[in-house]
Each structure stands twice: as structure tokens, then as C-alpha cells.
């Protein structure tokens, strides 16, 4: 348990499994999706923690656990040192004000039949905070804060562009003056030119309002400039966690190295010199993750030990205490994996079925 006052949110051994059931009357659990499968991480006050990983690795599920939208299967999440599952109704209400979420899809997350003024004003209505002319004034202030024209209060979401709709989502998230915002791929559905505008807005708001962000993205290039620290997720687990600069400069997990080598490099000469690590095969199914290190079927450095033994997420030899890597054979300085190929076939785990709390 974290008692460090700098730590705002602490995720401790968190699992979120979704049961797959079969049968019409007596539904029997036949398998589980291991969406989040043992994640430990901490979010420090005022920082931006980036979370990166391929589609389906559990980023959104983890985001929903952190914001209390999903109960966890196992493990615990603390907010300001207190377990969120043990919150009273009153604590929970305060927690829901403090911790907000911005969703991946600016189109699907806004009700098309409601006017933006009432969408942004929803949190006030739910918490019974302001009404009438006072609510309108507060909503218009929020619209101004995120760069929307307050006179567009009565318009419908369809009358706004993608970038503006994401601003509506940001305004709604800010309504209750939160401390933490979990941004779940807030720009991935937007054009590249608009992405920078929304990211700049989020950064300005962070400086102005002292916000803490968890910023989720598919690839490292999006989180590169916004994150203080970055967690790389693979198939429900944290593969590597480090200060952003360290992670980019000296990645230790072969998966991080592969993600970095796949980043597009703007300079064509540099791009030609850069050596890509090509990962073989698709991400394995989260219903039946590989044994030991779950990256072993795709890892160019895999050895027998990787099939049998799950690597711990710890500081490896020579690394600072806050650079954690879940790998038995981390990438060494100057080592290139570009010509290496994965050679070990997938060995699956026996399905582990811990008690589901919901």
C-alpha cells in the first residue's frame, strides 16, 4: 500500500476478468477474458502518466477500473491512500467529482439529441450543484475555457467538428473541478492536424488547473511529448514503466524497443538508417495468454526460462529505482534486435480463474 503523499492513485495487483458464459438457462462460465491481468502502477500528483499498448491490451478496461466504472476482479485501487472499493456513498460521490474520464470516441460519447449546453451541464445536474441561469453561466465559462464559442450553447453535437466535439467532452470532464482526468485515447479518432490542438488544450488546462492526467494511447509517438512517465502494457500486464525520457532513450523491454522502432521518423535519411524490429504474429488471445512471459511467442530474445517463469516488474541491474521492466533478459545498451526473430512457439497457461467479485 502506498502512503506516499505524492501518489494520488495507486493500482495494486489489479485483475479485471470478463467471464464468458454458455448455456441458455444455467449459464456456465467456460472461459475468461484476462483484460487486465496483474497491473501495478502509481499516478503521482500533477504528473501525466502515459499508458501505451496495442489494441486489446486492456488500456480502456484499466481506465474504467481506475475511475471506478468497473469493479476489479482482484487487487485494489487507492485514491489519496484509501481503497476505492471501501468508499461509503458519500466518499464515492466525492471520488466521482475528483476523478473524471474523457472517452476515446468524441462521436459516440455525446448524445446526438441533446444540446451541448445540457450535455456539459450534466455533472452539475447529477450532483445538484447549480441550476437555472447559474448553470448556464458556468457551462458557458467552461465552453470558453476549452475554446468553444459560448454562444453555441444551444447547438447539437452534429453541428460541431470532431475536434470541437472532443472539446465538449473535455468541458464536461472539467465541470466539477476534478483533480485527475483519465484521457482514454482522446485524440485517436481525430485528424492529425486537430490532434495537436486538443493535446495543447489539455496541456494548457493541466498547467492552469494543476490537473493530474492518465493519458492512454495506441502508440508511443502520441504520448511522447505529454507524458512525464510512461507505462507500456502488453496483454493485460505492464511490460515497462519509466520516466518518458529514459523509456525513449534506453528501452529495456524488447516489446518497448519494438514499439519505438515502429514509430514513424519524419527525416527520410534517418528513417532509412533506423532498423525496425518486426514482431512476428498477432497479439495472442487474452482468453488464453501464453505461459511465463506472455510476450515470449513474439519476442526476439525469448529463451526457455521465458516460457516457464513470469518475469517480475522490477528495476533491472544498472537501472534507476523508478525504471521497472518485466523481462528476464532486458535489452542492453547498444543492442539491436532488428535482425533477430522470435523462435519459441506459444505455450499457453492453464486458465487461472480467481473469484469474480461482480
Ligand X SMILES: Nc1ncnc2c1ncn2[C@@H]1O[C@H](COP(=O)(O)OP(=O)(O)OP(=O)(O)O)[C@@H](O)[C@H]1O
Site string for Mg ion, 78-117 (x = CB under 5 A): ----------------------------------------
Whether 299 and 277 have beta carbons less than 8 Å apart is answered as no
Q: Which residues contact 118 (CB under 8 A, 6 or more apart)?
A: none
> Which CB atom, from 16 or from 328, has the smaller least distance to ligand X?
16
**Binding positions for ligand X, rule: CB under 6 A:** 18, 33, 35, 53, 55-61, 218, 286
> Which CB atom, from 16 or from 301, has the smaller least distance to ligand SF4?
301
The backbone torsions φ and ψ at residue 29, rounded to the nearest 5 degrees and listed phi first, read: -75, 125
Closest distance between ligand SF4 and the C-beta of residue 327, in Å? Answer: 3
> Which CB atom, from 217 or from 258, has the smaller least distance to ligand SF4?
258
Whether 16 and 36 have beta carbons less than 8 Å apart is answered as yes
Closest distance between ligand SF4 and the C-beta of residue 258, in Å? Answer: 10
The backbone torsions φ and ψ at residue 240, rounded to the nearest 5 degrees and listed phi first, read: -155, 145
Q: Which residues contact 312 (CB under 8 A, 6 or more apart)?
A: 326
Query: Residue number with the shortest CB distance to Mg ion?
Result: 60
Residue 218 binds which entry of Mg ion, ligand X, ligand SF4, none, CB below 5-8 Å type-dependent:
ligand X
Closest distance between Mg ion and the C-beta of residue 37, in Å? Answer: 16
Closest distance between ligand SF4 and the C-beta of residue 301, in Å? Answer: 4
Distance CA 115, CA 281 (A): 46
Residue 248 binds which entry of Mg ion, ligand SF4, ligand X, none, CB below 5-8 Å type-dependent:
none
Closest distance between ligand X and the C-beta of residue 232, in Å? Answer: 12
Closest distance between ligand X and the C-beta of residue 58, in Å? Answer: 4
Residue 61 binds which entry of ligand SF4, ligand X, Mg ion, none, CB below 5-8 Å type-dependent:
ligand X
Distance CA 167, CA 201 (A): 9
Whether 324 and 296 have beta carbons less than 8 Å apart is answered as no
Residue with C-alpha cell 521492466? 325
Question: What length does the chain have?
Answer: 358
> Which CB atom, from 43 or from 337, has the smaller least distance to ligand SF4?
337
Q: Tell me which of 60, 67, 73, 195 binds Mg ion, using CB under 5 A.
A: 60
Distance CA 267, CA 233 (A): 28
Q: Which three cell numbers stand for residue 90?
A: 458519500
Whether 293 and 347 have beta carbons less than 8 Å apart is answered as no
> Which CB atom, from 202 or from 293, has the smaller least distance to ligand SF4?
293
**Binding positions for ligand SF4, rule: CB under 6 A:** 253-254, 293, 295-296, 299, 301-302, 306, 311, 327-329
> Which CB atom, from 8 or from 189, has the smaller least distance to ligand X?
189
Residue 329 binds which entry of ligand SF4, ligand X, Mg ion, none, CB below 5-8 Å type-dependent:
ligand SF4
For residue 69, give Cα distances in angstroms to 62, 80, 85, 210.
10, 18, 11, 24
| Secondary structure E strands in 298-347 | 314-315, 324-325
Amino acid at each position: 500500500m502506498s502512503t506516499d503523499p505524492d501518489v494520488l492513485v495507486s493500482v495494486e495487483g489489479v485483475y479485471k476478468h470478463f467471464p464468458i458464459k454458455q448455456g441458455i438457462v444455467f449459464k456456465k462460465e467456460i472461459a475468461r477474458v484476462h483484460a487486465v491481468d496483474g497491473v501495478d502502477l502509481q499516478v503521482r500528483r500533477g504528473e501525466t502518466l502515459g499508458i501505451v499498448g496495442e489494441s486489446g491490451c486492456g488500456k480502456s478496461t484499466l481506465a474504467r477500473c481506475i475511475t471506478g466504472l468497473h469493479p476489479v476482479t482482484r487487487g485494489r485501487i487507492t485514491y489519496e491512500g484509501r481503497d476505492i472499493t471501501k468508499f461509503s456513498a458519500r466518499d464515492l460521490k466525492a471520488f466521482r467529482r475528483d476523478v473524471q474520464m474523457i472517452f476515446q470516441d468524441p462521436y459516440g460519447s455525446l448524445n446526438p439529441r441533446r444540446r451541448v449546453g445540457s450535455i456539459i451541464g450534466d455533472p452539475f445536474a447529477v450532483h445538484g450543484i447549480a441550476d437555472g441561469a447559474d448553470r448556464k453561466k458556468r457551462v458557458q465559462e467552461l465552453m470558453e475555457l476549452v475554446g468553444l464559442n459560448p454562444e453555441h450553447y444551444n447547438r447539437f453535437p452534429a453541428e460541431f467538428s470532431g475536434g470541437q466535439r472532443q472539446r465538449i467532452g473535455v468541458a464536461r470532464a472539467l465541470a466539477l473541478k476534478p483533480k485527475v482526468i483519465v484521457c482514454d485515447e482522446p485524440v485517436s479518432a481525430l485528424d492529425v492536424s486537430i490532434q495537436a490542438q486538443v493535446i495543447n488544450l489539455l496541456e494548457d488546462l493541466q498547467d492552469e488547473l494543476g490537473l493530474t492526467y492518465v493519458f492512454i494511447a495506441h502508440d508511443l509517438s502520441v504520448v511522447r511529448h505529454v507524458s512525464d512517465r510512461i507505462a507500456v502494457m502488453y496483454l493485460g500486464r505492464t511490460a515497462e514503466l519509466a520516466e518518458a525520457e529514459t523509456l525513449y532513450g534506453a528501452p529495456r523491454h524488447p516489446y518497448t524497443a519494438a514499439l519505438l522502432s515502429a514509430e514513424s521518423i519524419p527525416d527520410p535519411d534517418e528513417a532509412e538508417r533506423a532498423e525496425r524490429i518486426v514482431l512476428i504474429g498477432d497479439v495472442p488471445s487474452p482468453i488464453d495468454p501464453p505461459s511465463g512471459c506472455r510476450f515470449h511467442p513474439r519476442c526476439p530474445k525469448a529463451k526457455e526460462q521465458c516460457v516457464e517463469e513470469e518475469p517480475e516488474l522490477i528495476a533491472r541491474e544498472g537501472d534507476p529505482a523508478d525504471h521497472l521492466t518485466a523481462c528476464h533478459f532486458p535489452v542492453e545498451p547498444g543492442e539491436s534486435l532488428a535482425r533477430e526473430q522470435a523462435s519459441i512457439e506459444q505455450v499457453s497457461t492453464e486458465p487461472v480463474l480467481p473469484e469474480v467479485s461482480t
